[in-house]
Amino acid sequence: MCLVHSAFTQFSFSSSNMNTPPSSPDAYIDAALTLHFPELSADAAARVKAQFARIAQLAAAVLGYPLKASNEQAPVYRP
């Protein structure tokens, strides 16, 4: 079986649109690691998933901060 095919058969799409990301971060990480690093050990893959979990925790604080359009200094570029 082709590596690309085997990587993408792990995806669990929520719709028929192939541009829709996988329903879970683990499914995306598993597919990406299979595609790009097929020889990666399970231990290393677990460390990659843990790192993405830490990144998601940091991003949640930033993305959860309420911002309004009026907070932007220059909301519209006018040459």
pLDDT of residue 78: 74
Band (26; pLDDT cuts 50, 70, 90)? confident
pLDDT of residue 14: 46
Query: Could you read off the pLDDT of 39-73 as tens digits, one per residue?
Result: 999 999 999 999 999 999 999 988 898 888 777 77
Answer whether 52's CB lies under 8 Å from 29's CB: yes
